[in-house]
Chains A and B, each alone.
Chain A
Amino acid sequence: MSAAAARPLVTVQSLESDMATDGAAANSVPLPDVMRAAIRPDIVTFVHGQISKNARQPYAVSNRAGHQTSAESWGTGRAVSRIPRVAGGGTHRAGQGAFGNMCRGGRMFAPTKIWRRWHRQVNVTQKRHAVVSAIAASAVPSLVLARGHKIEEVPELPLVVSDAAEAVEKTSAALKVLKQIGAHPDAEKAKDSQAIRAGKGKARNRRYVSRKGPLVVYGNEGAKLVKAFRNIPGVEIAHVSRLNLLKLAPGGHLGRFVIWTKYAFEKLDSIYGTFDKVSEKKNGYVLPRAKMINADLARIINSDEVQSVVKPIKKEVKKAPLKKNPLKNLNVMLKLNPYAKAAKRMALLAEAQRVKAKQDKLDKKRKPITKIITYFCCLSMHLRFWVYLYFIGSLLLVSQSRASLMQPGWKLPCPVYLSHSVICLLQEEASAINSASKSWYKTMISDSDYTEFENFTKWLGASQ
């Protein structure tokens, strides 16, 4: 709602009978504020619906209908239903059911009454709002087209005609006027659409139906134009200070094709006021304000003010991944703990090493004995005895002189019968067995509970 100075201009269409005195070919009038009011189809539908009830004539059935008998129920025991039956005799009517809505010739269910509420009250502001909306809608070409008017040849909407139109006297001249301003196709459409009504209405004094044509609005009282235009089929006339919603939005649908005379058009401002100025004719009335000042959503959304703070669209919506067990799935484990691979590898290697070491140890323990025995078996009886003696001797020697255990070159008096290599072998074997047994004793002590017993420790001689 910018200042009044920014109001767009509407050119007034000139007629042939116009004065050539106006130098400017196009006279122009500023657009009245009414035409920029908010268009509210909901209000118009509501108000139109209410107002159209106000011209109704009451209808009702006769209040005596169906009761003009003295029927009485026969009661039970006569093998007939209990509905009241017509008394008397000698005619078909006797004994027939009466009064009930189900009976032939009976009274209807809920007989219609004349005191039905036929008329509806509507708030004045609401009625004015509706009219204002309808006037504004008549200035929007798309709405007028949507309502079905043929305005393809109309030069401008709202269509304002010079005041010369108000002086038109003859209907033929009126038609010419319509042709000049491009409103004839609409009037023609109305004429062509005249047809007999479908339905019972045709027998109820509503025989013909036709489409609506243009609505001509004039400003001067008693203008000749009324008589000229009123006989043209489809064309309706209205004075600007008495605009009827039922004419501006026929059927509750916005966008009647309106032809304004210049005088009428200029009067609109004073009748309805502007957004700032109170109406002169309607006491204290100001044009209604729209809910949204700028209703162009696309423009608002794409404006710099909004876009500068807007975040980019989230196209990929993150979905939670299916949980996989890291203890079974290596890749998932590595995602969580990158060290897992190295740890696993080290563990595997360590395990392999351990297995190997154990095997070696076992082998070492088992191997030498078999060697000696095989050698032993090869010897003669005589030599075997000496080997055996020597072996035991070396063992005893080793066990007694612990300090000299690791001396490499200790000697034992040896018989000549045994070769040097055999002696070395025996010595090695003896020392190996001794060291093994010693370590075993040690673990036996440390892992056992026998350390509690003092005697035992003394026997084993194990201290530090």
Chain B
Amino acid sequence: MCRMAEKGGQIVPESVLKKQKRTEEWALAKKQEVAALKEKKSANRKLIYNRAKEYAKEYAAQERELIQLKREARLKGGFYVNPEAKLLFIIRIRGINAMHPTTKKILQLLRLRQIFNGVFLKVNKATVNMLHRVEPYVTFGYPNLKSVRELIYKRGFGKVNKQRIALTDNSIIEQTLGKHGIICIEDLIHEILTVGPHFKEANNFLWPFQLSAPLGGLERKRNHYVEGGDAGNREDYINELIRRMN
């Protein structure tokens, strides 16, 4: 049965002693864990700071480079043509009723299941053809840095364990995308903006953006943008729409 241990004259049952020892061990292990985590976090922070600084420089340099090339070309009497955009932002502008099943499926594949949902998209032949099929239901264009930043900061939610988790901490991003080298929100923005090698994973991590109805309204949903409406490709003017919807 129980062996009794003398403790200051009083008999303490062995089970109590065992439990004490156990709780001590656990407390120690936990403390060590917490300390290790803290260290790792602070090291990470430095890294994130430097990366963000790099990116800021990179974005500024890109901008200035573009302007410089344009000026140069004009000076020589030629033209500088902007490289075709690699990144698109699509917003669904029509509701869910009375849709052709194929277009419905395409919108589902694009993760646009609700009106005023937005997603980023890589530009290639496959996606462009898909967009062509769903043109009357969406509006899309080429987002700039400010759009991407604001969308991800304000309305960024990540898919963690099939759940929609708010991006309130870099650890959430690191947990899922750490293996691709994306450990903070600035990394994520950079990956999306400069359609990087892990764009697919980064974009899929982002839950489709649930935007508000645009302040000031849409012009005319049923017409194409070139006809004075809202549907289809509006290239750079998507940024203005995003400002009103974010």
Chain A residues in contact with chain B, CB under 8 A? Answer: 302, 304, 307, 312, 320-321, 323-327, 332-333, 335-340, 342-343, 446-447, 451-452
Contact = CB atoms under 8 A, between A and B. Distances in A.
A10 B19 CA distance: 36
A343 B153 contact: no
Given A302-B15, A302-B18, A320-B166, A338 B45 contact: yes
A332 B75 CA distance: 46
Nearest to B163: A320
A332 B185 CA distance: 12
A335 B169 contact: yes
Nearest to B54: A339
Given A342-B53, A446-B71, A327 B154 contact: yes
Given A339-B49, A447-B74, 20 more contacts: A312-B23, A312-B26, A320-B166, A321-B168, A323-B166, A325-B154, A332-B168, A335-B169, A336-B153, A336-B184, A337-B48, A337-B52, A338-B48, A339-B48, A339-B53, A339-B56, A343-B56, A446-B71, A451-B75, A451-B77
A321 B15 CA distance: 40
A437 to B, nearest CB: 19
A446 B45 contact: no
A326 B154 contact: yes
A327 B154 CA distance: 7
B77 A452 contact: yes
Contacts of B23: 312
A325 B77 CA distance: 47
B167 interface: yes
B12 interface: no
Given A337-B52, A337-B185, A338-B48, A325 B166 contact: no
Nearest to A339: B52
13 contacts: A302-B19, A304-B18, A307-B18, A326-B154, A327-B150, A332-B168, A337-B48, A337-B186, A338-B45, A338-B52, A340-B52, A446-B71, A451-B77
B132 interface: no
Given A327-B154, A446-B75, A336 B169 contact: yes
A303 to B, nearest CB: 9
B22 interface: yes
Interface string B150-178: 10011000000000011111100000000
B59 to A, nearest CB: 11
Nearest to A308: B22
Contacts of A304: 18
B220 interface: no
A323 B157 CA distance: 10
A60 B72 CA distance: 118
B30 interface: yes
Contact of B74 (A302, A337, A446): A446
A342 B154 CA distance: 20
A316 to B, nearest CB: 11
A342 B186 CA distance: 14
A451 B153 contact: no
B30 A312 contact: yes
A325 B155 CA distance: 8
A325 B71 CA distance: 38
Nearest to A338: B49
Report the 6 A-B pairs with minimum CB-CB distance, sorted nearest first.
A339-B52, A323-B166, A312-B26, A326-B153, A338-B49, A336-B185
A339 B59 CA distance: 15
Contacts of B15: 302
A83 to B, nearest CB: 66
Contacts of A336: 153, 167-170, 184-185
Given A302-B19, A336-B153, A339-B53, A323 B77 contact: no
A171 B53 CA distance: 106
B8 to A, nearest CB: 23
B30 A337 contact: no
A321 B172 CA distance: 13
Interface in B17-58: 18-19, 22-23, 26, 30, 45, 48-49, 52-53, 56
A325 B49 contact: no
Contacts of A340: 52
Contact of B186 (A320, A325, A332, A339): A339
Contacts of A332: 168
A365 B49 CA distance: 42
Contacts of B49: 338-339
Nearest to A323: B166
Interface in B53-68: 53, 56
Contacts of B170: 335-336
Nearest to B71: A446
Contacts of A320: 165-166, 168
